[in-house]
Structure formats: C-alpha cells, structure tokens
C-alpha cells in the first residue's frame, strides 16, 4: 500500500529548514556575498555554496566522519533554498536525486517509503548541530571545494 504524503507536515519542515539555515548563515540571501565555504571541523562538516541566484541558493553539505571503514561512507547532499517561497529542501543525497514524496516498498532503489521526508529531517538535524556548535566561514581555498 502506497501511503499518501502529508504535504502540510513536509511544507512545515521545508519552511523550518529555511528559517534555521538563515539563522546560522543570514548572508545566504545576499547574491553578492563573497563567502562560499563554511565548516564545522570538529564534526567533519563542510558546507559549500554551489550556486546563488536572485531566487535560489544551492548548498552542498559534506560530512566526513573520519572513520576508515568499507561500510561507512561520507554523506554528501545538496539543498536548494527557494528565497521567494522561503523553503529549503534536500534535492540530492549521495548523488541520487530525491524526486517523489513517497515510494512503494520494496522498490528497485530501496528507498524508504518516505525518503524525501527522512532526508529533510537529516538536514534539520545537521542545521541544529551547526547552530549548537557554531558554523564558521572558511576562506575560499581549492582544497576545500567539493567536486
């Protein structure tokens, strides 16, 4: 059985993520902003501003847990902020685009039934981590950039 999405709950989450991102990086709405990189070194977190337009900002989050294991990989996800709608949502995780609000289970890619919501909850937890521990601007250096 395919669950119906709770759009009202998802919309609240997207709006909350947008507000919380601006709380830790208020300059994200400024197109001419010079800072492009942020980090939380103690947690292996890097945030890179990939694209900035009048109405949107695309951020990359890279979480490297510094654990050498074939089973644990670094987390990489991209977040699009829509400034006109005042929402932020995860648009890709580990290179996979999240397009549907709900998936039948099991499915070919083994996504969770509510994959999109789970990824946006992850974003809210990362934002909270940044808020509690102080996200720092990092000078633009090529070794920092995520490819």
Mean pLDDT by 10 residues, the chain (147 residues): 56 95 86 79 90 92 78 85 96 84 73 82 94 83 41
Lookup: tokens for 29: 């709405």
For residue 23, give the H/E element and its range.
Answer: helix 7-24
- From edge to edge, which strands make up the β-sheet containing 56-63? 96-97, 87-93, 75-82, 56-63, 45-52, 37-40, 136-138
For residue 88, give the H/E element and its range.
Answer: strand 87-93
Res 3: pLDDT: 43
- Asked whether 59 and 49 are in contact (CB, 8 A), the reply is yes
Res 114: pLDDT: 83
Q: Is 59 exposed, middle or buried (0-12, 13-18, 19+ CB in 10 A)?
A: buried
Res 64: pLDDT: 86
Res 142: pLDDT: 44
């Amino acid at each position: 059985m395919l669950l119906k999405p709770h759009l009202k709950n998802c919309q609240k989450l997207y709006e909350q993520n947008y507000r919380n991102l601006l709380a830790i990086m208020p300059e994200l709405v400024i197109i001419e902003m010079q800072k492009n990189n942020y980090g939380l070194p103690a947690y292996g977190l890097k945030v890179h501003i990939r694209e900035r337009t009048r109405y949107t900002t695309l951020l990359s989050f890279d979480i490297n847990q510094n654990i050498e294991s074939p089973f644990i990989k670094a987390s990489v996800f991209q977040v699009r902020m829509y400034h006109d709608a005042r929402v932020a949502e995860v648009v890709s995780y580990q290179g996979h685009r999240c397009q549907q609000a709900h998936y039948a289970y099991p499915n070919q890619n083994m996504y969770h039934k509510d994959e999109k919501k789970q990824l946006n909850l992850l974003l809210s937890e990362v934002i909270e981590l940044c808020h509690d521990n102080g996200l720092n601007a990092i000078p633009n250096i090529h070794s920092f950039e995520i490819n």
